[in-house]
Structure 1
Amino acid sequence: MTPSLPRPFPYAVTGAHTTLGPVITTEAWAKIAQVLDRRNPGEALDGSVITRLLGVEGKSWGPDRFATLDSVAETARAALDGAHLAPGDVTAVVVVTCNPYRILLDQDAFGLMRLLGIPDDVLPLQLGAGCAGLARAAALVAGLNTERALVIAYSVPNRISTGADGTLLPGYRDNAVHPYGRNMWAAPALFSDAAAAMVLERDDDIDGLVLYSRDSQSFGDEPGVDDPLIHFLGGGTDNPAGTPGSTDMACFGMNPPEITRYYSGGMMLNHQVLEAARPGYLDQISRVYAHQANPRLVEGFARKVGLTEQQAPSNVRQLGNTVSPSTLALLHADQVRGSLAYDARACFSVVGSGPERGAFITPIRIPALRAPAVP
């Protein structure tokens, strides 16, 4: 099977912004969420156990902050402002989320564009995507050949996994129906709330690269992958709302062995394909923004390719897995610190449920970075 190869990506990131929820410790979250301790009936897991199992020490937890699309729209507006663009300058919008506020007819995309005041003739694309959605969005932007794309990514797992008081909803607390029911609590414990946006502007003189693969036909030298990694089996025509068991099936369940295998293999395939297309590419970029799946996987990839903490920053231990916004959160943190020079090149490399993976190399031309960078 012919492997997926990089394509030209003549785009620069000219605006970026991220909004997080309040960051709390895993211990504080555990006291609120009340995860059942199956070894000690009637008791809840404490944060130290969750940290030992998942590696995360904190979470971005903002069900109130993300109660509506307004916070997501404000994030996108800040990215446009950072790029010195008005809503009327946008020529395409790509919305990336695995848990939309409204599940039918791309209503999140339509609602966001309405809130932002983007003209009605601008093309919206709404992607039901997880952790690798940013790579799919970049590949689609390149295929559209559009001038100025606004990419909006968000994930608000705590709004669909915890109740008004913060405790786990029944489907995540004690689920005997879902095939991953015994460990449903792990998804709300690991995944965190965040919204992010970036502006991609076309410049034909840019020699960037974009790579995208579903890996359904082949996975490197191995057969294709057919496990979605994250199993959300409710809704749709298979388990329509209101039918027996549909509520319990409408929960995110993780397949840890396949996630580990796919992340480790997928990140290395991203690296190998980019290295073959552009030998020594790691010496030509300032940052590798790798998807923040969990600390062990992120650190393992960095060790394999010889990346330092400065070259490949990480936030998953402190924030949890913020899904598609995770790499943009790393970029935004560098922007706020002033530690990235204007026109520096970055590589975004991501893998996720679907499964899918990809990467793109692009210059960062956010106007605020024109000031001298801090080492």
Structure 2
Amino acid sequence: MTTRATVIGVGHYLPDRVVENSEFTTGLEGMTDHPIVLETSDEWIRARSGIERRHFAAPGQMTSDLATRAARAALADAGIEPDDLDAIVLATSTADLTFPSAATMVQAELGMTRGFAFDVQAVCAGFVYALSNANALILSGQAKRVLVIGAETFSRIMDWTDRGTCVLFGDGAGALILEARDGDGTVDDRGILSCDLNSDGRFRDILYVDGGTSTGDTGFLRMEGKEVFRHAVEKLASTATKSMEKAGITSDQIDWVVPHQANIRIIAGTAKKLGLPMDRVVTTVQDHGNTSAASIPLALSVGKARGQIKPGDVVVTEAIGGGLAWGSVLLRW
């Protein structure tokens, strides 16, 4: 028998405020002391990213708040209580505080009085890193049930004068619960079948936040979009292929690609490179924008709610973010 980390529940949460592309041209309220008006258009944003709208957190609504709401939805979907969990792994780049971790804040809000909780920071690749770590905790016997969350409030680190970045990002959270279950050690097992993680710090300057302990302030997101795009398609296709090879799965056996929802052109380019049609790709970027570490669990939860992802389906997730950091996880739902 082989132990597999198997998905038993999934959920998500989006803040109430929906911001349409048109608000950037008519005057976006509430983000600075005065309305933000950019030289852009709905057509320009859609053509370059596929994004039509995104959600922004309310004043005072923190990343841990979003994460807790998504966690409760996943717990309800799994039919278990917080103290049935052994661990929480939370992927975020926008934690409420430098420390303690947002994961421990979620642990407290859920009323979870046992186990352990910690954050993982790999920006947009954060959720696949968190999922891989949760898988390792289960396979090593350190945990039997792990809540894995991706949550972000990227609206708090936007430079609202930079139309090339501030129109791309949104806030949200997604969560899933992994449980140790026995499998036969074949590709027919439910659960995580393979993981692949990568990073290359030589490319840190093409996507970063210009603040932190070195500057004494939070800073703003900075991105060289063309350079990120150049790396993204090749690296995403490569890591997804590696996960398939590790699992002994071929592309024709993939039911769904659930990619990081950064840009529809990157998503389509990666699918083409993998030889998979877009009707086998779960896309939410049009409604959520780029929610960084939250985008994959959000898309998994939405994909299940839509009736796309069903028990037994083979799903490959892949993401790339600042670092550069990228990776993939292949699982049978």
Report the TM-score when normalising by structure 2. 0.85
Distance 1:103 1:186 in 2: 27
Per the alignment, residue 121 of structure 2 pairs with 128
Q: Using the alignment, how far apart are the partners of 1:267 and 1:329 within structure 2? A: 19
C-alpha distance in 1 between matches for 2:262 and 2:105: 29
- Matching of residue 156 in structure 1 with residue 153 in structure 2: yes
Q: CA RMSD for the aligned pairs? A: 2.5
In structure 2, list runs of 5 or more residues that go unmatched. 30-35, 184-188
Counterpart of 2:81 in structure 1 is 86
Please, which of 135, 140, 148 is the counterpart of residue 142 of structure 1?
A: 135
Q: Equivalents in 2 of 1:188, 1:9: separation in Å? A: 43
Change (3 A) 1:100 1:185: farther
Q: Which residue of 1 aligns with 2:53?
A: 59
Contact kept in structure 2, 1:147 and 1:202, CA below 8 Å: yes
Residues 25/90 of structure 1: CA separation in 2 closer, same or farther (3 Å cut): same
* Letter of the 2:216 counterpart: P
The equivalent residue for 1:263 is 232
Q: Map Cα deviations across residues 180-223 of structure 1 (whole Å, 9 max, x no partner).
A: xxxx343221011111111111223147333233333xxxxxxx
Picking from 156, 159, 167, the partner of 1:189 is 167
Partner in structure 1 of residue 32 of structure 2: none
Distance 1:9 1:225 in 2: 37
Which whole-Å CA distance do the structure 2 matches of 1:43 and 1:288 have between them?
Answer: 36
1:91-131 Cα offsets, whole Å, 9 max, x none, are: 1110111111212232x222111000112x41212122311
Match of 1:102 among 97, 102, 107: 97
Instruction: Describe the SS at the equivalent of 1:73.
Output: helix
Q: Do the aligned partners of 2:53 and 2:288 also contact (CA within 8 Å) in 1?
A: yes
- Confirm or deny: 8 A CA contact 2:38 2:163 kept in the other structure: no
After the TM superposition, list the runs of 4 or more consecutive aligned residues in structure 1 that deviate by more than 4 angstroms: none
Residues 342 and 49 (structure 1 numbering): CA distance in 2 closer, same or farther, change over 3 Å? closer
Moved more, 77-86 or 333-342: 333-342
CA contact under 8 A between 1:9 and 1:209: conserved in structure 2? no
Superposed CA deviations along residues 286-320 of structure 1, whole A, max 9, x for unmatched, are 21111112111111111222222221121213331
Structure 2 letter corresponding to 1:156: T
Letter in 2 for 1:115: E
**Contact kept in structure 1, 2:46 and 2:52, CA below 8 Å:** no
Letter in 2 for 1:347: V
Distance 2:130 2:259 in 1: 16
Q: Give the length in aligned residue pairs.
A: 314
CA distance in 2, matches of 1:312, 1:52: 18
Match of 1:277 in 2: 246
| Cα distance between partner residues in 1 of 2:276 and 2:265 | 15
Equivalent-residue separation in structure 2 for 1:283 and 1:201 (angstroms): 27
3-state DSSP class of the match of 1:114?
helix
Q: How big is the shift at 1:231?
A: 1.4
d(CA) in 1 for partners of 2:244 and 2:19? 38
- Choose which of 177, 198, 212 in structure 2 pairs with 1:235: 212
Distance 2:318 2:283 in 1: 13
Bigger Rg over Cα: 1
Contact 1:291 1:349 in 2 (8 A): yes
**Match status 1:287 vs 2:251:** no
Tell me which residue corresponds to 1:354.
323
Matches within 5 A, 1:1-375: 10-21=4-15, 22-33=17-28, 44-48=38-42, 50-51=44-45, 54-64=48-58, 67-68=61-62, 69-106=64-101, 108-119=102-113, 121-145=114-138, 146-161=143-158, 171-173=159-161, 184-205=162-183, 206=189, 208-216=192-200, 225-227=202-204, 229-236=206-213, 238-241=214-217, 250-364=219-333
Alignment match, 2:33: none
Identity %: 23
Equivalent-residue separation in structure 2 for 1:135 and 1:296 (angstroms): 21
Over 3 Å counting, the alpha-carbon distance change for 1:31 and 1:266 in structure 2 is same
Deviation at 1:331, TM superposition (A): 1.8
Contact 1:54 1:190 in 2 (8 A): no
CA-CA distance at 1:9 after TM superposition: 8.0
Change (3 A) 1:84 1:269: same
Deviation string 1:237-256 (CA, Å, 9 cap, x unpaired) is: x2124xxxxx6xx1011122
AA partner of residue 192 (structure 1): G
| Displacement after TM superposition at 1:279 (Å) | 4.6
AA in 2 matched with 1:240:
G
Q: What is the TM-score of this pair, normalised by structure 1? A: 0.76
Q: Is the 8 A contact 1:65 1:71 kept in 2?
A: no
Distance in 2 of aligned mates of 1:278 and 1:65? 44
Counterpart residue identity of residue 235, structure 1? G
**More divergent stretch after superposition (190-199 vs 262-271):** 262-271
Q: Write the deviation string for residues 264-295 of structure 1: whole angstroms up to 9, x where unpaired.
A: 12112113313433454333332111111211
Any conservation in 1 of the 2:50–2:264 contact (CA below 8 Å)? yes
Partner amino acid, structure 2, of 1:73: T
